[in-house]
Chain A
Amino acid sequence: MNNLDYGWLGKLNWDSLVFSGFLESPSVSEAVASVAGSIVILAAVAILALLTWFKVWGTLWRDWLTSTDHKRIGIMYIAFAIVMLVRGLLEGMVMRAQQAAAPDGFLYADHFAQLFSTHGTIMVFFVAVPFLVGLINFAMPLQIGARDVAFPVLNQISLAVTVSSGVLLMVSLVVGQFSTGGWSAYPPYTGADFSPGVGPDYWIWAIVFSGAGTTLTGINFTVTVYKCRGPGMHLFRMPLFCWTVLCASILMIFAMPPLSVAAIMLGLDRYLDFHFFTNDLGGNMMNYANLFWLFGHPEVYLLVLPAYGIFSEVFSTYSAKTLYGYKSLVIATMCIAILSFTVWLHHFFTMGQSPTINIAFGIATMLIAVPTGVKVYDWMATMYRGRIRFTTPMVYAIGFLILFVIGGLSGVILANPTVDFQVHNTLFLVAHFHNVLIPGVLFGILAGYNYWFPKAFGFRLNDKWGKRSAYLWFAGFMVTFFPLYGAGLLGMPRRSFSYGDLTFKPFMVVAFIGAMIVLAALITLIIQFLVSIRDRNKTRVPVGDPWDGRSLEWNSPAPVPAYNFVEIPKVTDRDAFTEAKEHGEAYKRPKVYRDIELPKNNPLGFILCVVSGILMFALVWYIWWLALISALTMLVAVIVSTFRKETEYIIPASQLEKDTEAWLALVEKSEPVGRDLEDSPRNVGLAKLEL
């Protein structure tokens, strides 16, 4: 059928709705799909109703949806990522249940395939990336002593397209079906011949748009680090987190384009009958594999580097020591960033290239273990003889240190082409990448969430529930994924919805139990959040430095005012804030109060979010007129926004004086609290000077 032969609604019809499958031929698999679809609809309706009920639309619009403040944009990124995390984890559980129930599971093969495709796509692009980008947005400008990121409106736009792509994935639960081709979407399987449905189109547009958002974010952060540092903040005085952000941003700039190219070319194959990756007429699937992994491998370092940065801050703060081997950590970060581009062929050792190439790429892969090892030793040396406090972020960091080394070692094993021939595409691989992604990235994210939460909202998260959650994550992770190493060595293929060889069954049952522990971890995480909100009056830290922090972000009230700092602090050394506290320079009154200029609110991001969502949906369903209208609307919105004249507003000095004097008065009357009491209600965010 010709692409233009569809009617007004394109391919869309009654049968596209997920519920129609259940109504026509009821089955457990269809029921699961229908329930998921209903949850999406109900949740959307419930949220809209609640927002209306509490009459918060006005505030939401003014303070959040149109905000250009990097801290608020960061928080919105994180909120979005948490929603996606819940979905992604639940999909993991359903898959584990299916494999534990095999050989007579309850899902259709296609449904299982959709689950691992959305799960992988969501976890990588819509949980790990936005969560990290959110934390970076929140903390990095504060750490370098900046007023804002380099391009605040661009920041808004990046968030907008990321969110609309995520919403598109949610819509795929209700209308039509998602791709069955995995998160890597290899053609020719995802080409029009083998996957004529809309699934791969959902994948393509979500990836193209969110990928564009990530590239723009990379540009924004790079320029921010280079150009917006406060006075005295030399590159080698930056907190390590900023270094890892810089390297990760450079990875975003260089690694995202190959993915965009691959996805767009796949789209051209599907929509316009091109032959980039088809089986016939000169198409070449290996080009896709190369493009995808030219992105894909750096991507994992793009995720893990900022997490390393978070752990570095955590180790140093809660050991009350300056980071051991700072320069070596910086150099190791840069080495990893560069090496990450030299190893992508290890993803297709078995696809027919010469042994020489395999050896070269195997060795390059193993080399990454060297700078990573340097880091691990530096972190351990940071703790050595420190006065360690076992707070929630620290618990995550120590769990990371142990578990991540195991994951890294299994990676070194996989880097050996001869071993890889045996275990590639088995659950051994699945165990390996979860073993690096969960301790490395997810624990990093959760550590950062616990660490910076009081800075963002002005009160601490509950430490008891935080630790419970952390231990459940450790246990859940280990019970879920360590058995998969075994099943993989025994030869159980990944992505299989069922299996005939019952040797695998015990492994799968244990893994399912592990997944239930993970579910408990997720629930405790939510409990921690709710309990913390309930107790917020006892845990407020308005002064702003609850952990005896060492970097500049702790040098402002909590929550941080829109302008970050009344007066940008002058930096003379590493650990700038500790330095200031030691010399009695912290909490000083500025000599003069000067007006501060900040970017105004802008509706552009919100408009683009809505319209790009419509555009993607129209493209997925071949509704050409709608696609055209929304594409033009986006263009016009951007052009019109360039005609705005007054893009900044001014916070008058008098206002600043009032705020700051109130804060300083609070500092004056607060009692400094030692580190041993930091989890008690006496901690209002003024750390006692203990050396």
Chain B
Amino acid sequence: MNPISSPKNPLSASNPHEAIHRDPDMVIFGFWVFMMSDLIFFGVVFAIYITMVGATAGGPGPKELFDFGSLFAQTMFLLTSSLTVGIATVMVKHERSRASFLFWVVITLLLGMGFLGLELYDFSVMAEKGGVPQRSGYLSAFFGLVPLHGLHVTFGCLWMIVLIVQVFTMGLCDVVKLRFLRLALFWHFLDLIWIGIFSVVYFGGWVYG
């Protein structure tokens, strides 16, 4: 269940001035709509990748380039971070201490950065093997899709840093909580996209490429 629609939730307390702009339902709904749009964005880029799997133009293909060991580690990092961000959500819901909330956010942040580090490392290894986006249509499609997800993760990390600062400057107030809930949604969404990338780009590419 959506944590903020529960009646006991502090966020749904009525507002004396009918302030529509902080209505949590509306803000979260808006974010869902945004993610819908983002999903189309990713969907289209996925489609392009699928049409270009064979377009290696004699350059290196999936079989030469992918390192499934590192990919497994990246997947673990992201999946775990989804769990930790979930725990942080529970902390908000049950109004646990600020410290325990921050603890789980920081863990999530570290896992996200670990993921990014590994991903960049993978790219550099690919580049050494000649797998650069300029080499072929296939590699362009690869580097159009995977770093797009990476960019989203980077953005999510930045968001977490800002939130941590805001917890200190503004306190764990309604606005900050709402921002965090959106971040959590976003983070889960990125996890889903990653599962798509793992199955379609890496695994699918490896099977068909």
Interface residues of A (CB under 8 A from B): 146-148, 150-152, 215, 218-220, 222-223, 226-228, 253-254, 256-258, 260-261, 265, 268-269, 272-276, 278, 280-284, 287, 291, 294, 594-597, 599, 639, 642-643, 645, 647-648, 650
> B44, A152: Cβ atoms under 8 Å?
no
The minimal Cβ–Cβ distance linking B48 to chain A, given in whole angstroms, is: 6
Tell me the residues in window 4-61 of chain B with beta carbons closer than 8 Å to chain A beta carbons: 17-21, 23, 25-26, 29-30, 33-34, 36-38, 40-41, 44-45, 48, 51-52, 55-57, 59
> B26, A222: Cβ atoms under 8 Å?
no
The minimal Cβ–Cβ distance linking A150 to chain B, given in whole angstroms, is: 6
B45: chain A residues within 8 A (beta carbon):
261
The minimal Cβ–Cβ distance linking A281 to chain B, given in whole angstroms, is: 4
> A274, B23: Cβ atoms under 8 Å?
no
With A150-B26, A219-B30, A256-B37 already in contact, the answer to whether A281 and B135 are too (CB < 8 A) is: yes
Docked complex Cα distance between A294 and B52 (Å)? 18
Q: Which of A219, A273, A274 has the most CB of B within 10 A?
A: A274
A215: chain B residues within 8 A (beta carbon):
37
Is B162 engaged at the interface, CB distance under 8 Å to the other chain? yes
> B26, A265: Cβ atoms under 8 Å?
no
A287: chain B residues within 8 A (beta carbon):
48, 51-52
* A597 in complex: contacting residue of B17, B29, B166, CB < 8 Å: B17
Is B115 engaged at the interface, CB distance under 8 Å to the other chain? no
Docked complex Cα distance between A88 and B156 (Å)? 41
With A227-B26, A257-B44, A642-B166 already in contact, the answer to whether A284 and B137 are too (CB < 8 A) is: yes
The minimal Cβ–Cβ distance linking B175 to chain A, given in whole angstroms, is: 9
The minimal Cβ–Cβ distance linking A601 to chain B, given in whole angstroms, is: 14
B133: chain A residues within 8 A (beta carbon):
268, 272-275
Show 13 A/B contacts (Cβ-Cβ < 8 Å), sorted by A.
Answer: A151-B21, A220-B30, A257-B37, A258-B40, A261-B41, A261-B44, A274-B133, A281-B59, A282-B136, A284-B51, A287-B51, A596-B17, A647-B21
> B44, A283: Cβ atoms under 8 Å?
no
Identify the closest chain A residue to B139 (Cβ). Answer: A275
> B33, A219: Cβ atoms under 8 Å?
yes
Is B138 engaged at the interface, CB distance under 8 Å to the other chain? yes
* B29 in complex: contacting residue of A223, A258, A283, A642, CB < 8 Å: A223
Beyond the given pairs A282-B52, A282-B55, A647-B21, 7 more chain A to chain B contacts, judged by CB atoms under 8 angstroms and listed by A's residue number, are: A150-B30, A257-B37, A275-B133, A282-B56, A284-B55, A643-B169, A648-B21
Identify the closest chain B residue to A226 (Cβ). Answer: B29
Docked complex Cα distance between A148 and B33 (Å)? 19
Docked complex Cα distance between A594 and B17 (Å)? 8
Encode B167-179 as 1/0 by CB contact (under 8 A) with A.
0011000000001
Docked complex Cα distance between A147 and B37 (Å)? 26
Identify the closest chain B residue to A254 (Cβ). Answer: B40
Is B85 engaged at the interface, CB distance under 8 Å to the other chain? no
> B144, A276: Cβ atoms under 8 Å?
yes
Identify the closest chain B residue to A222 (Cβ). Answer: B33
Is B190 engaged at the interface, CB distance under 8 Å to the other chain? no
The minimal Cβ–Cβ distance linking A546 to chain B, given in whole angstroms, is: 29
* B36 in complex: contacting residue of A253, A273, A648, CB < 8 Å: A253
Is B134 engaged at the interface, CB distance under 8 Å to the other chain? yes
Docked complex Cα distance between A647 and B57 (Å)? 55
Tell me the residues in window 122-143 of chain B with beta carbons closer than 8 Å to chain A beta carbons: 133-141, 143
> B40, A257: Cβ atoms under 8 Å?
yes
> B19, A597: Cβ atoms under 8 Å?
yes
Docked complex Cα distance between A272 and B144 (Å)? 12
